[in-house]
Amino acid sequence: MGMKMADLISFIINLVVSVIILSPVLWLVGRWLVGKDKAKFTDAIWIVVIGTLVGTIFGYFALTWIGTIIMLIIWLALIKHFFDCGWLKALLIAIVTVVAFLIIGFVLGALGFVVLSIT
């Protein structure tokens, strides 16, 4: 049961897109909530890379709600570690990041539909 080349390519694309889109949002929210001294852009990249890698590996083996809870804890632990904050602050950073990410996605999607309708 080895990993197929398509799975590897899919993972790499997912990782690159996550780093490009999610890292800046996470970094900005981290700077806002814990300060620019604690929230470095490289740390946001590491959080996204490690979280995506562990999430992919873990998701490959555990597709249950327990796996989802464990992944949430891992993401919070990564934010807590790299941004040097407590659990509640890490949770707040995660929630604000998700909300900001959804808003950005909605805006980009709306702009995409506008561009498609113009052409």
| Residue-wise DSSP of 51-102 | HHHHHHHHHHH--SHHHHHHHHHHHHHHHHHHTT--HHHHHHHHHHHHHHHH
**Predicted TM-score of the model (pTM):** 0.81
Distances (CA, A) of 31 to 14, 60, 69: 25, 32, 26
- Picking from 51, 111, 41, 116, the residue whose alpha carbon sits closest to that of residue 83 is 41
Q: What is the pLDDT of residues 1-28, one digit of tens each?
A: 456 777 788 888 888 988 898 999 999 9
Res 118 pLDDT > 70: no
> What mean pLDDT is reported for the chain?
86
Percent of the chain at pLDDT above 70? 89
pLDDT band at 57 (very low <50, low <70, confident <90, very high): confident
| Model pLDDT, residue 1 | 47
pLDDT higher at 98 or 112: 98
d(CA 59, CA 62): 5
Give domain limits for the chain.
Answer: 5-118
d(CA 32, CA 114): 31
d(CA 75, CA 15): 15
